[in-house]
Each structure stands twice: as C-alpha cells, then as structure tokens.
C-alpha cells in the first residue's frame, strides 16, 4: 500500500495545489465581479449570473490542469481539442446567435449604462420601442411598454441599435390609479 501512495504522491500534491490556486482565483474573480456590480448598481441576479460564468471557467481550468498533473500529454490535448472543436464548430455555427447573446450579456454586465427600472427608447426604423427595463437576463431583456405589453429583446440587438434613456428608474405602475 505505501508503494501506491509513493508512486502518486507528486500528482496528489499537484492536485491539492491546483485546487487551492483555483479556489483563490475563483474568490478573487467573484469579489471583483461583486465590486463591479455594486459600484455600477447592477441587480444581484446579474451578479449571480456572472458567478455562474466564473464557476464554468474555473471548472474548465481545473479539468485542464488536473489532466496535465496526472500525466496527460500535450499531444493528447491537441487530439482531444481538435476533435471537440471540430464537433463544436459545426454545432455552434448553428447556434451562433445564442452565443452572440451570451457574449453581449457579459459585455452588458460590465458596460451597460441602463439599469432595471429605467425607461428607454430603442431607435429601430422597423420597430421603435419605448419601454421600461423589467429584467436583464443572460440572453435577453424583458421590456414593459406603457400599454403593459412584455417584450423580450435580444441582448445582441441592444448593443447594435441606438438606445436612449427617456427616464431614469421609471416605475412600472406609472399611470395607473393607486389603491
């Protein structure tokens, strides 16, 4: 039994070191996202969404680093990644707009000037929209028009169209009789 432990001792120490390093990196990234979110007054739901993206990144890094620590050669990685990316390339080509919306959601987290509750106007020649931002999701925004209509608007279009702020922190019950 001691022979088995001594033969994999280095791999175990590398694994422990990798886990500790990734936990520290994960903590730093989450604290940074939280500070950016609080400073920009971003809704807690969007901050939690960013935490999910950070967890996925850490998982991918852990898989990669642990594979190297336990003896997977770089040539093996080349074979695995070329096969995976060939399959993903064909699959992702079909869903490029979903990826575009996710990427736009990440960009909007860090640099979107509008908040939930703001009344905005989207200057689109085919379908101009004036509405209040109800929610900002990973793929789309929920916009509520003055007529009460709920519009789901893709994140990537928010970055492509001209948008102006009509009123900051407009109330959703505006114009309705109070009880």
Give the model's confidence band at 132: pLDDT under 50 very low, under 70 low, under 90 confident, else very high. very high
Look up the CATH architecture of domain 113-167: Roll (2.30)
- More confident call, 34 vs 170: 34
pLDDT at residue 171, rounded to an integer: 56
Average pLDDT over residues 142-162: 92
Taking the model in full, what pTM does it have? 0.61
**DSSP code, position 134:** E
Kindly tell me if the per-residue pLDDT of 176 is higher than 50.
Answer: no
The radius of gyration of the chain from alpha carbons, rounded to an integer in Å, stands at 23
d(CA 172, CA 178): 12
Distance of CA 179 to the CA centre of its chain: 40
pLDDT in tens, 72-114: 887 787 888 788 878 877 776 667 777 788 888 888 888 888 8
DSSP E strands in 89-169: the ranges are 119-123, 129-136, 140-145, 150-154, 162-167
Kindly tell me if the per-residue pLDDT of 173 is higher than 60.
Answer: no
- More confident call, 88 vs 21: 21
**DSSP code, position 147:** T
Give, in degrees to the nearest 5, the angle at Cα 60 between 104 and 83: 90
pLDDT at residue 74, rounded to an integer: 74
pLDDT in tens, 22-75: 999 999 999 999 999 888 888 888 899 899 999 999 999 999 899 888 888 877
pLDDT at residue 113, rounded to an integer: 86
């Amino acid at each position: 039994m001691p022979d088995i432990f001594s033969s994999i001792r280095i791999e175990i120490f590398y694994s422990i070191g990798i886990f500790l390093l990734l936990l520290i990196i994960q903590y730093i990234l989450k604290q940074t996202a939280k500070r950016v979110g609080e400073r920009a007054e971003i809704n807690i739901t969007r901050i939690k969404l960013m935490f999910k993206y950070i967890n996925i990144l850490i998982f991918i890094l852990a898989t990669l680093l642990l594979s190297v620590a336990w003896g997977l050669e770089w040539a093996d990685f080349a074979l695995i990644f070329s096969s995976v990316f060939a399959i993903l390339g064909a699959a992702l080509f079909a869903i490029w707009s979903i990826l575009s919306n996710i990427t736009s959601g990440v960009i909007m987290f860090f640099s979107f000037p509008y908040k939930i509750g703001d009344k905005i106007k989207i200057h689109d020649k085919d379908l101009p929209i004036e509405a209040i931002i109800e929610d900002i999701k990973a793929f789309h925004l929920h916009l509520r028009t003055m007529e009460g209509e709920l519009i789901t608007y893709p994140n990537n279009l928010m970055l492509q169209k001209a948008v102006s702020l009509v009123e900051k922190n407009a109330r959703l019950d505006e114009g309705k009789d109070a009880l």
